[in-house]
Structure 1
Amino acid sequence: MFDTQAEFDPIRWLDRSLIQLCSRFGDYQKDNPSSFSLSPRFSIFPQFIFHLRRSQFVQVFNNSPDETAYFRMILNRENVANSVVMIQPSLISYSFHSGPEPALLDVAAIAADRILLLDSYFTVVVFHGATIAQWRNAGYQNQPEHEVFAQLLRAPRDDADAIIKERFPVPRLVICDQHGSQARFLLAKLNPSATYNSASPLPGGDILFTDDVSFEVFLDHLQRLAVQ
């Protein structure tokens, strides 16, 4: 009996459930995807499901069964605020032009003159843009005339330390630079709006080497299926 049962596919189940929800609660004209819209209460729900589909709770590739079980156990144990961060991490941007401000969880957030702080609950990443990394390696932060740059470097580290002190289990801290090997901890969580087979990124930006669809493509398919 069990040998003939189809294996449960969580991604397909999530997709079907999201399509049904959007078809029932969305406003649209039948067979007209451009007319589709969701009420403000549901407007960010497709984005949340998009990140859930790509999270370690659904995508088990490159994780051992023990790791997958651990991630899911913590998800079930934690409160809503922490669970949301696990599924859709927070991203903060630091630059000379403005103070710390939220950034879209998208590859477009990467810039050469910017530092990004990613909190995905299990991992905290401090990501330095290429120009910031070059200045840091040159030791500009140690020169009195570049105190502002030193403060810019310290700000995300201080915020990362504050997150780590308040959380148990203690998250992994990753300090990395743009184009470095450790940058994968950030890139894996970003919406792949710019990939190797799409348009070139903005100067100082980056691209993702992935075949995953972007949120824009995901939403386009969702709208087309929901209005049928």
Structure 2
Amino acid sequence: MPARDGAPAQDVGQDVDRRTVLKALTATLAVLATGQAVAPAAAEAAGASESWTVQTLEAFADTLIPGQRRFAGDLPIAGAVTGPGAVQAGVVAVLTSPALPLAPLLPAIAALLNTRATAYAVEHLIWLPVTSPAFVGLSFAQRTDLVGGVFGPDDPDRAVWQILSLITGLAFDTAAHLDTREALAAGHPGLTWLRFPAPNADGLWRFPQFSYGRALADPHPATTASGSPA
């Protein structure tokens, strides 16, 4: 069955080796964990949501962390909630960044998800529009049901979806692709929604109260002035 992006969409392993996809996803996760800012792709910077690959990725991210529609007729975002979601928080900017190794593999990942959506639609007798990707054509409840299934312990591509979901969470919860101070100053949707605290006047974060209400241990005598171990 041909994919809607024009390539065969049977399995990740058909077009791109599954191990290659996992390596790219893991490398992306590792880069984001370091807090290194990454440049967004030009299309995302312009707010474009034209390609079916991007629409599919947006719909997947919106299923995990839903948000409100950006405009009337916004198909990738189901509009299940009020407030910002992963798409508004820049998840596609992360995934498509040329600074990360993942961008060339996204069409294959999107094609796999659309193949799964087509199979789901056939199984449940759901009519899918031909003018949008298969996954985007599902309702929010149907997307949620499908995504819940791909995380099953027996799913051959479970690791792909797990790491993709971690990246989605990082984009919303931490603005991992941006400098935290700059993200807060710009009103990053995820950090703002979570009420992430602003830094002190010198740009550093300090917390006058202990998390558990008391100090759990005395600082090591070799601890530096910045709080790092010697």
Q: Give the TM-score band, short-chain normalised.
A: under 0.3
User: Whose relative contact order is higher, 1 or 2, with alpha carbons under 8 Å and at least 6 apart?
Assistant: 2
Which structure: greater strand fraction?
Answer: 1
Q: TM-score of the superposition, structure 1-length normalised? A: 0.23
